[in-house]
Structure 1
């Protein structure tokens, strides 16, 4: 097995906590963040449930000590807070000491502000400045500015696999010697655009979502941000840094089946998992736990279940979806679940698949439904997106 790329810091803000420790406490106590909408004004407010970060934009801006004249979208606010936590966790005080990059993922970008200001921006200067923060790269630029990163920045937007692909690209830049250190992850806020879009697709649930349950009705949208710090072996040795975990395997594939649906055979998911195992030089039986994509939509869970059975055959590992805690956080999901996977490794604790009752036919094994203590060495984490974008990451214990 390859040692992989070292992870030395992580940060997160989600509907179940504003720090890594708060998220861990919620996961261990099975405290979900799914509830009716509070901060947003939408006609669907009482018809759906979401995983909402309850702080207002002003409260988030105050944490970053931003002037009232700022034009940060909510996506940029959430991302900046989580990325700064990750940097602090990695004990990085001089960002320019090594070649450092930022790869940030988003799908919503500044849509939340565009929705509010679009009808006024041609005549109102305050509205115009928020329209300028609409594009996906704006949140990346603002996070980079908060961290002081100037060497390399880029944005990834591959739907719900975005953050996983950001982590993957960061690892490749380190192993190729292009960068010494990369902050990787994703951020997305709730917006009317995404709520209306998923409502139109008829895949939103009006109750708490039930991943991998035969009677699942659909997903709960969520908002969140999470970032990891990846560092080269050179830095680890020179600085004698503590390693939280290693990213040992990663891969992406595309089943080229449909704009929004996965194939019945789960071809893209199957290929991503197989290639990630090959990259990590691991066999399927070496995986102790899968953090499944598990959106609770009829299509995803059936397709992913089929793909898992194809890869693991009669030795399916323990698995669960943590989206019943946070909701589906879109482009941030891969990073949110990377943090949860690393917490699982650190604490030898599997977090439950909330709300599960009835087994699905596509996967002849039930998910973990309660907090479970188990020695864990290798975790496989799936992130699948619209357009067939399928990505798999493998995290391994640092000792």
Structure 2
């Protein structure tokens, strides 16, 4: 069976608008979390946020898009998808082939315009709101489909924080089962009052920089971003640059609580085990784990428990959410890009702000940048509702 390889990557986060800028910040241990400049909320003065350093209007101008014709979510998705497609050197013929799939992911979608839709609907109640069409989480995928004239399979995932990891898994499965020859896969989310207010109501937002896997962790910091990968059959990409192999993937559902995983970490454990089985690897083959690592009380402890259940000796691990904040539906794809950069450059990026391990698990994440031999990296993404997905990327 032909291997599935990554031939293009595109990304924009609070760390930068290219893969190179993101990697540089990761190497330097430079977080993108701070005070928001463009996002308007009553909480911007009290809550750290990982905002991308460009206004929606300026981003639209940079991308040559009418700012009235796209949401911030649409624009972030377009920026990163264009990068990935250019990186893979696809022609328009390839892009518009019926065998090219587009699989997106988002949790916010057009909800970044909730206030505008509400005001518009009340002002023009007889005709409804013009913002309604852009409100769904799938609107940004439809926007990309129209921009690129994609004629193959198009789908959108909304499984909370595992959304874009599931998009990557689904794209790989489409190729593996002969339903597509290649796929654009990834996800996007922008900062939104809807999510900031919602997470704040759950009392899991930290008023300090987040500290994944630290005993004194207080919660997560929200961020925004987008990342897309180009997946192709290896046999069809022989002359191309190949970043990594999508070696395995696994999904499960903890089915324990709407916003928490069980104390035993059953969902995370099963998703990691199924990813290993899919890749035909043993636990000892994993060299590094890009952990979900939200810095919430529940996630970090249950993810640690799950890793200890699966691995006789837990591999080195870290959480890059201490750099980008939690980018929600984009997180799986953003962290997939970081895992691929680790493989490509044989380096691991540390967790930031860690001081002392959780007393019940006593696991310490990587806390300093270092070079090392890497063959297989696991990337974890766990969503509300218990939807857990693990991806394994391997050296070409």
- TM-score (ref. length: structure 1): 0.95
1:197 aligned counterpart, secondary structure: helix
Q: Please say which of residues 119-128 and 364-373 is displaced more in the overlay.
A: 119-128
The answer to whether the Cα contact below 8 Å between 1:51 and 1:326 also exists between their aligned partners in 2 is: yes
Gaps in structure 2 of 5+ consecutive residues = none
Q: What's the CA shift for 1:97?
A: 4.7
Of 83, 90, 93, which residue of structure 2 is paired with 1:92?
Answer: 90
2:65 aligned counterpart, secondary structure: coil
Name the CA distance, whole Å, in 2 between partners of 1:129 and 1:286: 52
Of 356, 359, 362, which residue of structure 1 is paired with 2:357?
Answer: 359
1:328 aligned counterpart, secondary structure: coil
1:168-225 Cα deviation digits (max 9, x unpaired):
0000000001001100000000100100100010100000000000000000000000
2:326 aligned counterpart, secondary structure: coil
| 2:184 alignment partner in structure 1 | 183
2:25 pairs with 1:23: no
The answer to whether the Cα contact below 8 Å between 1:113 and 1:131 also exists between their aligned partners in 2 is: no
Name the CA distance, whole Å, in 1 between partners of 2:111 and 2:299: 26
| 2:149 alignment partner in structure 1 | 148
| 1:278 alignment partner in structure 2 | 277
| 2:103 alignment partner in structure 1 | 103
| 2:198 alignment partner in structure 1 | 197
| 2:51 alignment partner in structure 1 | 52
Gaps in structure 1 of 5+ consecutive residues = none
The answer to whether the Cα contact below 8 Å between 1:156 and 1:165 also exists between their aligned partners in 2 is: yes
The answer to whether the Cα contact below 8 Å between 2:3 and 2:234 also exists between their aligned partners in 1 is: no
1:56-102 Cα deviation digits (max 9, x unpaired):
111111122113541x1111110111011000111112213561011
Provide the alpha-carbon RMSD of the alignment. Answer: 1.6
Name the CA distance, whole Å, in 1 between partners of 2:346 and 2:297: 31
1:362–1:93 Cα change, 3 Å: farther
Name the CA distance, whole Å, in 2 between partners of 1:274 and 1:69: 46
Name the CA distance, whole Å, in 1 between partners of 2:246 and 2:309: 23
Name the CA distance, whole Å, in 1 between partners of 2:242 and 2:325: 29
2:377 pairs with 1:379: yes
Name the CA distance, whole Å, in 2 between partners of 1:110 and 1:297: 26
2:244 pairs with 1:245: yes
| 2:257 alignment partner in structure 1 | 258
| 1:335 alignment partner in structure 2 | 333
The answer to whether the Cα contact below 8 Å between 1:157 and 1:331 also exists between their aligned partners in 2 is: yes
Q: What's the CA shift for 1:163?
A: 0.4
Name the CA distance, whole Å, in 2 between partners of 1:202 and 1:365: 25
1:289-322 Cα deviation digits (max 9, x unpaired):
0000000000000000000000002x11110000
| 2:31 alignment partner in structure 1 | 32
Name the CA distance, whole Å, in 1 between partners of 2:128 and 2:20: 37
| 1:112 alignment partner in structure 2 | 112
1:317-343 Cα deviation digits (max 9, x unpaired):
110000000000000000000000000
Name the CA distance, whole Å, in 1 between partners of 2:71 and 2:287: 39
Q: What's the CA shift for 1:130?
A: 2.4
Aligned ranges 1:54-73 → 2 under 5 Å? 54-70=53-69, 72-73=70-71
Q: Please say which of residues 385-394 and 116-125 is displaced more in the overlay.
A: 116-125
- TM-score (ref. length: structure 2): 0.96
Q: What's the CA shift for 1:121?
A: 3.1
Could you list the structure 1 runs, at least 4 aligned residues long, displaced by more than 6 angstroms after superposition.
none
Name the CA distance, whole Å, in 1 between partners of 2:40 and 2:189: 17
1:285–1:110 Cα change, 3 Å: same
Q: What's the CA shift for 1:36?
A: 1.4
2:393 aligned counterpart, secondary structure: strand
2:392 pairs with 1:391: no
| 1:300 alignment partner in structure 2 | 299
| 2:159 alignment partner in structure 1 | 158
| 2:319 alignment partner in structure 1 | 321
Name the CA distance, whole Å, in 2 between partners of 1:372 and 1:223: 27
Name the CA distance, whole Å, in 2 between partners of 1:302 and 1:6: 33
2:236 pairs with 1:235: yes
Aligned residues: 393
The answer to whether the Cα contact below 8 Å between 2:98 and 2:153 also exists between their aligned partners in 1 is: no
Q: Please say which of residues 41-50 and 282-291 is displaced more in the overlay.
A: 41-50
